[in-house]
Chains A and B, each alone.
Chain A
């Protein structure tokens, strides 16, 4: 099945006026596209919603551009530098410890100089049946020496292969490190061959081989550990000696390379500890900081026990950067207002919009309000697909809807998954890059995990907030999570009010600390979403546009870290929920994730606390209203999709006002895992009173305040009745007071 499409990605998510942003486009079924820039106003195509809205912007790039289908080179591997010491080897030993995860998927390269088209060089591989094999070729003749016994998935083996060019003898050793499976015994095989020179012009690669000078293939799935290359055929005893991290001096002169996967984990460098310093480079972000065959369960951090973390986990579906050439280069006009924009691409029936934020000029604010675009959330969910996902309909409580985007994501695993997906081998996707197409990060995208009605999440749900901001007429800037991570408190200090999107879920330490510090020195934060401030993430120190999560500990999670692998490789911080790292969302913004459900939403009932004079400004004009948000295009209510509650034990400030609480959620709403320490039967909306959203307000020490809706669906109610409704009124009331620079102070004796 081949589907026509236009898609692409931008080299930046946030660009300042006067800077340049590039768009990389691939198309099938079109040879040219019409391109222009639009300001994204609302991406909701629901006829009952505010209406899909975008405004063309003249930038000078309007025009037709030739396009073609571009290859996305998925698959992680290591590349050693070109060196005659590797590529000129005639006699050699290759050895490596392996933990294959998909043996038998296809031929998978482990290490060597093999060129699949020149059929020259040497490589240790797993054959199409998962059998360890040494392959040699002189450009004419290809010979294989196979162990004859397939490797068991997720078992550790030492593989060692040698070739003595003078005698023509090949050897291969396959040694299971734990004898778990019947017949798992060490195997030694030999063969004599007569071959010409092997010298290869192909690079020495690990976990892949060269196909053409432009392409690699033969990707491996699984872990590799302690790869070594020697310049002659070693004895069994010498191979044994090379397994450790300290090379005996007598062997050192024959050691060509010994890559230390436990070194420089936070980088793309893979140091070679041999005298040759043939440091390799990791391409497409294989997972690092992985436990190796020696991990004892006594340490959980690669910094504490590096020798137990000498493994890298490769996947044939890892992708960092699609690397396509730029189709459209946009010099952003110096006077372009900050906002959410997209490059619009159209060819006949095919179209796509590649979103980006235009931030204010660097170092400046152009408005008192910042909309903090949840670019980390957008990336985390990038290409999450409801198929094939066997619990999708159970989660949503309604039939799954598949759009053309869903079918395209399914057809293009090489575009990479979301941080909710698992790789083809079942291990979790812990890195997500935006340098690849992400088809659900689009205006117009409909999700089966929104709610009945508009069915919006993440990027497209956030356009409801942008649409509402536009309706207020208040000027605002757009900044992204990446800007916040890079600039921290300095960025926030330029604003009086920060408004979040519908799902500000992912925060690096720098982001979270900046928000909390700004809050406490007078910042005014409006959290217009649910499941906020939830997971810790890391950004890479040198690679732009990529983030990491480690799904560790109790949490709503679609995969789990392997034991001992919950430390982020990008920065060495412990991964997981902020709740498990001492900064529960309740302690940041008053409420934290409690339940999710994707069928219908509900409403809030005002609390007696909402009558506190401290909250009078919030309910200005709504004094007689008891029920808030019993309408909306995200499930018919303002409380829904993912909902958050206050909890004093988790850090909701004691003086916080719980202005209202939602009620009447359906059976589709399930308590989140971290709320369940012992398995209980009443985990759904009908039977568990914890399942509700709290509307929270509290003042912060420096004259600032936090207002938190605790619900993703809130923004879907803002446009109801042409923005004249109690949800919009409350939100506008809060915005108006938060814009007023006079300190928001809780006078002693007022309230509780």
Chain B
């Protein structure tokens, strides 16, 4: 989809969606943001973003799933987070970019 089509479907501006998600990555969301998150979180397992726990409750590395048992993840070495909500925000941007094919990432 194009960004314009997506925003029309959601009935919301990009700025409003990003502002809301940045405020509350996990928890209550508006219907428009919830609909978008269902698209993101319901994506097929192959290529899906996950976090590898480097230090429990302290450091996480971004990775993608392969969907294959025995070789399940592809770490993205330079994406390490020290805050889980920052990880959510970063993945939200990556997924936005992948869905509409453009910035912001």
Q: Which residues in A have some Cβ–Cβ distance to B below 8 Å?
A: 1, 45-47, 387-391, 393-394, 397-404, 407, 410-411, 413, 444, 446, 452, 599-600, 664, 666-667, 686
Asked whether A400 lies within 8 Å of B27 as measured between CB atoms, the reply is: no
Q: A393-B50, A667-B28 are known; give 4 further A-B pairs, CB within 8 A.
A: A47-B58, A388-B45, A388-B67, A600-B27
Give CA–CA (A313, B17) in the complex, Å: 50
Asked whether A399 lies within 8 Å of B87 as measured between CB atoms, the reply is: yes
Task: From known contacts A600-B26, A667-B34, infer whether A398 and B72 are also in contact, taking CB-CB under 8 Å.
Answer: no
Asked whether A399 lies within 8 Å of B57 as measured between CB atoms, the reply is: no
Asked whether B67 lies within 8 Å of A399 as measured between CB atoms, the reply is: no
The one of A46, A393, A394, A686 that contacts B57, using a Cβ cutoff of 8 Å: A46
Determine the chain B residues whose CB is within 8 A of the CB of A388 once the complex forms.
45, 65-69, 72
Asked whether B51 lies within 8 Å of A399 as measured between CB atoms, the reply is: yes
Asked whether A407 lies within 8 Å of B88 as measured between CB atoms, the reply is: no
The one of A399, A410, A444 that contacts B49, using a Cβ cutoff of 8 Å: A399
Nearest CB in chain B: distance from A25 CB, A: 23
Determine the chain A residues whose CB is within 8 A of the CB of B56 once the complex forms.
45, 403, 444, 446
Asked whether B45 lies within 8 Å of A599 as measured between CB atoms, the reply is: no
Nearest CB in chain B: distance from A670 CB, A: 12
Determine the chain A residues whose CB is within 8 A of the CB of B57 once the complex forms.
45-47, 446
Asked whether B26 lies within 8 Å of A402 as measured between CB atoms, the reply is: no
Determine the chain A residues whose CB is within 8 A of the CB of B41 once the complex forms.
393-394, 397
Nearest CB in chain A: distance from B14 CB, A: 21
Nearest CB in chain A: distance from B47 CB, A: 11
Nearest CB in chain B: distance from A4 CB, A: 16
Asked whether A401 lies within 8 Å of B51 as measured between CB atoms, the reply is: yes
Nearest CB in chain A: distance from B30 CB, A: 10
Asked whether B45 lies within 8 Å of A397 as measured between CB atoms, the reply is: no
Give CA–CA (A338, B42) in the complex, Å: 45
Asked whether B69 lies within 8 Å of A402 as measured between CB atoms, the reply is: no
Nearest CB in chain A: distance from B66 CB, A: 8
A-B contact pairs, 9 of them (CB 8 A): A387-B72, A388-B67, A393-B48, A394-B41, A397-B37, A398-B88, A401-B53, A402-B73, A444-B56
Determine the chain A residues whose CB is within 8 A of the CB of B42 once the complex forms.
391, 393-394
Q: Is B8 an interface residue (CB 8 A)?
A: no
Instruction: State the total of A-B contacts with C-beta under 8 angstroms.
Output: 89
Asked whether B26 lies within 8 Å of A398 as measured between CB atoms, the reply is: yes
Interface residues of B in 41-97 (CB under 8 A from A): 41-42, 44-45, 48-53, 56-58, 60, 63, 65-73, 84, 87-88, 91
Asked whether A399 lies within 8 Å of B50 as measured between CB atoms, the reply is: yes
The one of B26, B66, B71 that contacts A397, using a Cβ cutoff of 8 Å: B26
Q: Which 6 A-B pairs have the closest CB atoms?
A: A390-B45, A393-B41, A45-B56, A403-B53, A400-B50, A398-B26
**Residue from B57, B69, B71 having most chain A Cβ neighbours under 10 A:** B57
Asked whether A389 lies within 8 Å of B45 as measured between CB atoms, the reply is: yes
Task: From known contacts A391-B42, A402-B53, infer whether A411 and B70 are also in contact, taking CB-CB under 8 Å.
Answer: yes
Q: Is B38 an interface residue (CB 8 A)?
A: yes
What secondary structure prevails in chain A residues at the interface with B? loop
Q: Closest A-chain residue to B40, C-beta based?
A: A393
Determine the chain A residues whose CB is within 8 A of the CB of B73 once the complex forms.
387, 402, 407
**Residue from A46, A398, A446 having most chain B Cβ neighbours under 10 A:** A398
Give CA–CA (A444, B68) in the complex, Å: 27
Q: Closest B-chain residue to A452, C-beta based?
A: B26
Q: Closest A-chain residue to B34, C-beta based?
A: A667
Determine the chain A residues whose CB is within 8 A of the CB of B69 once the complex forms.
388, 410, 413
The one of A389, A444, A666 that contacts B28, using a Cβ cutoff of 8 Å: A666
Asked whether A407 lies within 8 Å of B72 as measured between CB atoms, the reply is: yes
Determine the chain B residues whose CB is within 8 A of the CB of A664 once the complex forms.
28
Asked whether B91 lies within 8 Å of A399 as measured between CB atoms, the reply is: yes
Give CA–CA (A403, B58) in the complex, Å: 12
Asked whether A410 lies within 8 Å of B70 as measured between CB atoms, the reply is: yes
Determine the chain A residues whose CB is within 8 A of the CB of B84 once the complex forms.
398-399, 452
Nearest CB in chain A: distance from B70 CB, A: 6
Determine the chain A residues whose CB is within 8 A of the CB of B49 once the complex forms.
399
Nearest CB in chain A: distance from B61 CB, A: 10
Give CA–CA (A393, B49) in the complex, Å: 10
Asked whether B72 lies within 8 Å of A399 as measured between CB atoms, the reply is: no
Give CA–CA (A46, B69) in the complex, Å: 29
Give CA–CA (A387, B69) in the complex, Å: 8
Give CA–CA (A413, B84) in the complex, Å: 29
Determine the chain B residues whose CB is within 8 A of the CB of A410 once the complex forms.
69-70, 72
The one of A402, A444, A686 that contacts B50, using a Cβ cutoff of 8 Å: A402
Nearest CB in chain A: distance from B20 CB, A: 13
Determine the chain B residues whose CB is within 8 A of the CB of A389 once the complex forms.
45
Asked whether B51 lies within 8 Å of A446 as measured between CB atoms, the reply is: no
The one of A1, A399, A411, A666 that contacts B27, using a Cβ cutoff of 8 Å: A666
Asked whether A402 lies within 8 Å of B52 as measured between CB atoms, the reply is: yes
Give CA–CA (A45, B57) in the complex, Å: 7
Asked whether A390 lies within 8 Å of B50 as measured between CB atoms, the reply is: no
**Residue from B42, B45, B71, B88 having most chain A Cβ neighbours under 10 A:** B45
Give CA–CA (A388, B27) in the complex, Å: 24
Determine the chain A residues whose CB is within 8 A of the CB of B71 once the complex forms.
1
Q: Closest A-chain residue to B55, C-beta based?
A: A45
Nearest CB in chain B: distance from A637 CB, A: 11
Nearest CB in chain B: distance from A387 CB, A: 5
